[in-house]
Amino acid sequence: MSKVIDAIKFGLLSPDEVRRHSVVETGTSDTYDEDGAPISGGLMDQRLGTLEPRQRCRTCGNISINCPGHFGHIELAVPVIHVEFAKPIYKVLSATCRACGSILLAEELREKLLARRNKDIRLFGKVSDD
């Protein structure tokens, strides 16, 4: 019996989704203790997976070759913008009306872009229903 993939959706996880998928909250930047063992709650916490061939992951119980690795998260004191997103965010905010949220485009350009979008939809169909 074969299965067909209906759709693939890419996106970013919300902070709540990150916490829900997370197996550990990293609370320290430390990695190993004086004896060389991974620190619980640190960047190398064994619940995130293991790099050592004979050690078992504390989340799934598999050895490193069979463990896919697991999500962890770091709670930040203030929101942080990823540097790679700063320019696109600035461009979007600069092109958006602060009062109503509509796109700030000259009417001629807006109509041209809408016509191109509608042509693409006719040629290729909708990519997403969202």
The three-state (H, E, C) secondary structure of 62-82, written as one string = CECCCCCCCCEECCCCCCCCC
Cα separation, 40 vs 28, whole angstroms = 9
Q: Please give the model's pTM, rounded to 2 decimal places.
A: 0.59
Give me the DSSP letters along 17-38.
HHHHH-SEE---S--B-TTSPB
Mean pLDDT per 10-residue segment, the chain (130 residues): 85 92 95 93 94 91 94 92 91 91 89 92 77
Q: Nearest-CA neighbor of 94 among 105, 84, 85?
A: 105
* pLDDT computed for residue 130 by the predictor: 58
CB contact set of 35 (below 8 Å; sequence gap of 6+):
none
